[in-house]
Amino acid sequence: MILSGDFMRVIKDIIGKEVLSKNAEVLGKVHDVEIDERDFTIITFILKKPGFSVTKEEIIVSFSAVKTIGDKILLDD
């Protein structure tokens, strides 16, 4: 899959952002994204839980649950 420079910049900016629930609870930071290769849209964010853990606990968040993206990502659900 070859992505345009602008789309790659957006992905790079999203990786590492904190994701907050609608109650402002920190769910984790974006570790990776799943992309629909047909139309180059983001399907899900893959989060690492906050803190140190020896297990590889991840949270999958649908892009449709996102309310806003700024310095942090705020979820609507």
d(CA 4, CA 16): 20
Domains of the chain: 5-75 (2.30.30.240)
CA Rg, the chain, in Å? 13
pLDDT for position 50: 75
pLDDT category at 54 given cuts 50, 70, 90 is low
More confident residue, 72 or 9: 72
Distances (CA, A) of 33 to 17, 23, 57: 12, 23, 15
In this model, does residue 33 exceed pLDDT 70? yes
- Report the predicted TM-score, pTM, of the whole model to 2 decimal places: 0.82
pLDDT category at 69 given cuts 50, 70, 90 is very high
